[in-house]
Amino acid sequence: MIGELASALGWPTERQADGTLINPATGDDMTVLDRQRSLGLTVLSVVLPESRLVEGAAARGTTTVIGKVADLKNLAAGEKSLLSRLPNLGSPKANWAQNSGVLRQEMRLGQPIRDATVDSAGQLINNTGFLRAERNLLQCYGWCYNPSSTMWTPPVGP
C-alpha cells in the first residue's frame, strides 16, 4: 500500500537489507509510514517527507530532547523535542509505532540526545509510559546515559 501511494506521489520506494523502506531518489526514510500502514492506519501526511527537515536540523546543531511532556515545554535555544512530529494517531499501539520510528530517525543521525526528565543529580526519573519505552529503545541500541551531562550518547565503533 505505501509503495502504491508513494508511486502515485512520484516517490519510488526501495526496501533496504535492514528492512528500512526508503525513497532511493531522496533518501527519505519511509519506514514509519510503512509501519503505520501495517497497523491499518490511513496516512495522509506522507506528502511531507521528514528526513530533509531532520538533516537540516542536525546541520544547524540542534540537540534532540526526550522526556515527559511537562519537561519539554521550556527547552533551551538549540534544542528540540520530537513532539511536533508526533500527532496523536488514536491508539497507544499506533502512537508507539510512530514515536519509535521518529526516535530511530534521530538515533541514526548519531548525535547525543538529552533527557529532560531527570532529578537535580541527573538521575533518570519518572521512568513510565512512552518515556520508559524510549529509554529502553536507546539502551537496546547500545546508547549510554551519562547523568553528568544528562545526555544519551550513541555506541562507539563500526
| pLDDT tens digit sequence for 126-142 | 999 999 999 999 999 99
Helix (H, G, I), strand (E, B) or coil at 21: strand
Query: Could you tell me which of 130, 97, 106, 113 has the C-alpha nearest to residue 31?
Result: 97
Residues whose CB falls within 8 Å of the CB of residue 86, separated by 6 or more in sequence, listed in order: 95, 98, 99, 102
Query: Could you tell me which of 88, 151, 157 has the C-alpha nearest to residue 116?
Result: 151
Most confident residue range from 6-20, 32-46, 83-97: 83-97
The pLDDT tens digits for 59-90 are 456 999 999 999 999 899 999 999 999 999 99
Residue 140: in which H helix or E strand, if any?
helix 129-140
Q: Specify the pTM.
A: 0.63
